[in-house]
Structure 1
Amino acid sequence: MVIKILGAGCKNCEKLYNLTNEVVNELGIEAEIKKVTEFKDILSYGIMKTPGLVIDEKVVVSGRVPSKNEIKDFIQKYL
């Protein structure tokens, strides 16, 4: 599983990255978590507001930081 955090490195982007890492560790799954910070790369996913959460190349949320439980639900859908 590849999980991407889309954003330029703002506070919310970092929060989403940290929450996602926590969830992955709690679930005990193998996942590569990448930060996507280049504007043109972020736009290629069709989102206009960051942060964005992408799981296996599918945008699951953008423009807000989901709760830890929401992130867990998103990840479990793709397992």
Structure 2
Amino acid sequence: MKDIKVLGSGCASCKNTIALIEAVAQEAGVGVQVEKVQDMAAIIGYGVMATPGVVVDGKVVHAGGVPSRDKIRAWLD
């Protein structure tokens, strides 16, 4: 089970990122727990200045824009 946090204000890109992560995980047969983090202090605490940001198992792996399906697959491996 991968613990994934999507950091952002709740904008369309953040929502699309969550949906894409869930879809790719389902296709790959990988269990994920996706949490939406909207608290700006928490987001800045991760060092993310451009949203959406993505944190996988405690490590920031992406910031700014919707990630590609290939990038998401790599996080799930």
Q: Same fold (TM over 0.5)?
A: yes
Q: Give ranges in structure 2 of 5+ residues lacking alignment.
A: none
Q: Where do 1:55-74 residues align within 5 Å? A: 55-74=56-75
Q: Which residue of 2 aligns with 1:3?
A: 4
* CA deviation vs aligned residue, 1:4-26 (integer Å, no higher than 9, x gap): 10001001101101000001111
Task: Name the CA distance, whole Å, in 2 between partners of 1:21 and 1:30.
Answer: 9
Q: Which residue of 2 aligns with 1:40?
A: 41
CA RMSD, 1 decimal: 0.9
Q: Which residue of 2 aligns with 1:20?
A: 21
Return the letter of the residue paired with 2:72: I
Task: Name the CA distance, whole Å, in 1 between partners of 2:30 and 2:18.
Answer: 16
Q: 8 Å contact 2:9–2:38 — kept in the other structure?
A: yes
Post-superposition offset of 1:31: 1.6
Q: Give ranges in structure 1 of 5+ residues lacking alignment.
A: none
Q: Which residue of 1 aligns with 2:30?
A: 29
Q: How many corresponding residue pairs?
A: 76
